[in-house]
Amino acid sequence: IGHFSKNGIFAGKKILITSGPTQEAIDPVRFISNHSSGKMGAAIADAFADKGGEVYLVLGVGAKKPSNPNIKIYPVKSARDMYQSASNLHSQMDICVFAAAVADYAPKDIASEKIKKEGEGMTLDLVKNVDIALSLGKLKKPHQIHIGFALETENEEFNAKAKLTKKNFDMIVLNSMKDTGAGFQLDTNKVSLFFEDGRSLISNVLPKKQIAELILEGIKNIPVKI
């Protein structure tokens, strides 16, 4: 048994992918969210499905949908919804990819009516959201592999490696913010892959489809534990 059914092929393997932004409601008409397009998650979902994998994609609102028709899509809004869907699927999965840009905080209470404009300023009480990758990382079994993402603006490598350890990832994909042609909304990206054993790989600026293929290739560097 390995992470592949045969060289580079994922037939019979179940893959969970979280992708896109989460939306945290403030009131019936407003929410907190972020700029994630879901393009990287969609490219990874297609790459696995095109190589025979059974892909379960937990997808935030407005995130790009993959093109492979065999991919099962679970639409979600909030971080809590995303956690529910992902944790229902987790125990049956072989590979989990946490590509979603999960909002770190959500409004403490959701107002039942539209909040009216009053006064010159306003304060919103926020509470920390569940960390999906961290929670499921604690449940990871020896045959399962977890792949995480990081986007940093300073101490990039140090912070990415700290997340790799803290969240029990086997590989973390660091998105480069500093290179032109990389990041949110774009069709290209530049990444560094860091592995549990200290190895790393750095890509050029490439189309997200090719970055996805590189990430799948990176799985070959993850030791098989059973």
203 binds, among ligand CTP, Ca ion, none (CB under 5 to 8 A by kind): none
By the rule CB under 5 A, 104 interacts with Ca ion = yes
**Cα dihedral 189, 65, 215, 78 in deg (nearest 10):** 90
Q: Which is nearer to ligand CTP, 100 or 216 (CB)?
A: 100
Q: Which is nearer to ligand CTP, 81 or 104 (CB)?
A: 104
What CA–CA distance (Å, rounded) separates 118 from 157?
45
By the rule CB under 6 A, 131 interacts with ligand CTP = yes
Q: Give exposure, 95-106, as e/b (b: 16+ Cβ within 10 Å).
A: bbbbbbbbbeeb
By the rule CB under 6 A, 4 interacts with ligand CTP = no
CB neighbour list of residue 45: distance below 8 Å, 6 or more residues apart: 15, 17, 19, 55, 57, 66, 68, 71
Annotated binding-site residue? 64: no
Binder of ligand CTP out of 102, 174, 211, 214 (CB under 6 A): 102
In the residue annotation, 88 being an active-site residue is answered as: no
By the rule CB under 6 A, 81 interacts with ligand CTP = no
What CA–CA distance (Å, rounded) separates 170 from 223?
9
Give the position of tokens 């019936």.
28
Residues that bind ligand CTP (CB under 6 A): 18, 79, 98, 100, 102, 104, 129, 131-133, 148-151, 163, 167
Give the residue ranges of the annotated binding site for CTP. 104, 114, 149, 163, 167
